[in-house]
Chains A and B, each alone.
Chain A
Amino acid sequence: MRRLFPIVMTALTMAVTMAGPTIAADPTLSLPTYTPAYEPRTVDERGLWMEADEEERLLRDSPLRIREGKLEQYVRDVLCREVGAERCQSVRVYVMEVPEFNASMLPNGCMRVLTGLLLRARSEAELASVLGHEFGHFELRHGLTGFKAERRTKDRTAWLAILGAMSRTDITDTRISLLASFYRFTRDQEAAADQMGLRYMATSGYPARTAAEVWRQAMAEQDASEIGHGRTPRHSYVSGYFDTHPTNLNRAMALEAAAARMPGGGEARADEYRAAIAPYLPRLLAAQIKTYDVGATDFILASLAAQSGWTGELLFARAELYRARGNPRDLQMASIWFRDARAAGYAAPELDRDLGLTLLRNGQADEARKALNAYLAARPDASDATMIQTLVATEQ
C-alpha cells in the first residue's frame, strides 16, 4: 500500500497537470476574472444597482413568485453547478409563474426565471444554457454598457438635431444610422452572452451542444404556433434593422459552430430535471393550456411525451387543451384523451367532471351524466358541486 501510494499520487498529479493546462490554454474556454462581492464603482453603475435593488424588492414580494417547495433552490443549484459555487454566490434566483419562455438578470445579481422556461426545458443542460446566457450578461456588465450605449445614442441624436437645424441639413438618414448602430450593439451583446454561456457549460461538464438545441426547439415551437394560428411559418437568418436580439436561427447556427470546437461534455441530467420539476408540472401545464395557443402547447406536450411517454398527466393536459378550444372535432378528441388519461392512471375526480362536460357539449348526454355523477360522488363538497348537479338535472 505504501509503495502504491506514491505511484497513484504521481499518476493523479500527471492527470491533473495534463487536464489543467488544456482548459486553461484553450482561449475559447477562458472566463472573465471573478471578483467576489463586487460593488458598483461609478455613478452610472451605482444608479443602475439602486434601481435593480428596488426591482428585486418587488420581485421578492410579488404574488407571482413560486415560494412553495425548493424550486428556486433547485434552479439556483443548476446555475451553481454550471458557473461554479464561487461565482454563484452573487446570485439570487426568483421563479415567477408566467407561462413564457424567458429569463432575465439584473445588474445586481438578481435572476428572474419564468415558469414557461421550466416547462420547456427538457434537461438541466437546457435550463443551464439559458441561465448561463443570462449570467453571461451579468458577468460582462452588459446592463451598464447597454445603458451607456443608449445614453450615448440619445445624446448624439439630440446634438445632431440641433446641428442639423442650425445648418439647415436633413439629418434623417444619420439619425436612423445611429439608432441602427445601437440595435446592432444590443445584438452583439446577446451574441457575446451566448458565447459566454457556452463557456460556462463547457467548463462545467454540461454538453455545450445543448444550447443550440434549445433554439432549434424554440423555432420548432414557433412553427407549431404559427401553423396552429393558420399562418405560414418563417425564419430568417438576418435580424431586422431594429431587432434587439439576433434571430433564433442565427443564434442556433452560431452556437452549434462554437460548441463544435469545445469539449463534448458529460451528462445533460434529464432524469434529475424531470424528477425536480414533477411536483410543479400540473401547475405549469395548467398555465400553459390557458394561453390558448393550441399549436405551441400541443408541441410542448408532444416534446414532453417524447421523453416520458404519454403519461396520464400529459394526456389529461392535452384533453383540456382541446376542450378549451371546443370545436366539435376537439371535443371528440378530448373525450378520447380523457379516457386514455384515466387508463394511464390519472386518478383525480376532476377528470370525470371535465369528461362529463365535454360529452355534454358533444351531445352525449347519457354518458355525460354518468361521468358527472362519478365526480359528484367523489367530490360532494366541491365548490362547483351544486352547479354540476343542476347541469345533470337539467341538460338533455
Chain B
Amino acid sequence: MNIPRSPALLALAALAATPALSNMLVPPGPRTGIANSRLSATPASEWNRLSHTDGKFTEVWTIDGDQLDKVTFFGGVARGKALLREVDRKHHPLPTVKASMLITDIPVLLETTYRIRGARQMTIDTQEPAMLGGHKAIRFTYHFTLDDEVRRKGEGLGALVDGKLYLVTYEAPALHFFDKDVARYRALAASITL
C-alpha cells in the first residue's frame, strides 16, 4: 500500500476519510444558538457535539458516545410539532406540543414519544419544580429500555417559554455510566440561559 507522504496529500486523505458532516469538539466556555434556538450554555468541561440529530429541534452532546452518555437539547419545539423526527408519520404519528400544555405534561410527552419510537417499560420516577434559564421548569427522572434491553436512566429539565418547549435530557445506562457523568450534566443544565 502506498502511503502519501506530503502534508497536503495527508490532509486530503484525512478529508476523504471524514464524512461530510462530522462530530465537533465543544470546548469549555460559553456557547450560544444550541439546537438552532435561543438556548445557550456554558460547559465547564469538554463535550462532543454529534453531527447526527434526532430531529430539527434537537442537538446531541456526549462524552464517550451517545450509547454511553447522551445529552439532548430540544430547542424551542413549537406548537403542533413533535419532539423527534417522525419515522412513520402515517402509522405511528408522534404526539405534538399543545397550546394548553402544563409543565407536568412535558415528561408525559417525552414518555409517549419514546414509547412510540420503541422504548419499553418507560417510567417517570420523580418530578419536582425547578428553574431553566430563569423560567419555571420541571425536573424529572425516568428509566427505560431500548431494543438492546440495556436498562437506561434519564433526567430531564424542561420549560414552556412563549408557547415553545425547551428541554434538556441526559440518558445513560443505569449500570455505572449514569452516575459517572450525571454531575457534569447537572452543571451543564444549570448553566443554561434562555
Which residues of chain A have a CB within 8 Å of any CB of chain B? 58, 62-64, 97-98, 229, 231, 290-293, 324-328, 331, 357, 360-362, 383-384, 386-388, 390-391, 394-395
Q: Is B101 an interface residue (CB 8 A)?
A: yes
Q: Is there contact, CB below 8 Å, between A391 and B104?
A: yes
Contact B93 A391 (CB under 8 A): no
Closest-CB distance, B128 to chain A (whole angstroms): 5
Q: Sorted from nearest, which 8 A-B pairs have the closest CB atoms?
A: A384-B127, A390-B129, A383-B126, A361-B100, A387-B127, A290-B115, A326-B98, A386-B128
Contact B100 A292 (CB under 8 A): no
A324 to B94, CA, bound (A): 12
| Contact between B121 and A63, CB atoms less than 8 A apart | yes
In the complex, are the beta carbons of A384 and B95 less than 8 A apart? no
A97 touches B125 (CB 8 A): no
Query: When the two chains form their complex, are residues B93 and A229 in contact, meaning their CB atoms are under 8 A apart?
Result: yes
Q: Is the CB of B116 within 8 A of A361?
A: no
Contacts of B127 in A (CB 8 A): 383-384, 387
Taking a contact as CB atoms under 8 Å apart, the answer to whether A383 and B125 are in contact is yes
* A292 adjacent to B95 (CB under 8 Å): yes
Known: A63-B151, A361-B101, A361-B102. A292 touches B116 (CB 8 A): yes
A231: chain B residues at CB < 8 Å are 90
Provide the residues of chain A in CB contact with B151, threshold 8 Å.
63
Contact among A63, A229, A328 with B145 in the assembled complex (CB-CB below 8 Å) = A63
Known contacts A58-B149, A63-B149, A291-B116: does B126 contact A384 (CB below 8 Å)?
A: yes
Residue B59 lies at the interface, judged by CB distance under 8 Å to chain A = no
Q: Which of B97-114 contact A (CB under 8 A)?
A: 98, 100-105, 108, 111-112
**Residue interface mask B69-100, A partner, CB < 8 A = 1:** 00000000000000000000011111100101
CA of A293 to CA of B100, assembled, Å: 20
Known contacts A290-B112, A324-B95, A361-B102; A386/B129 CB under 8 A: yes
B92: chain A residues at CB < 8 Å are 292-293
Q: Across the interface, which residues of B come within 8 angstroms of A325, CB to CB?
A: 95
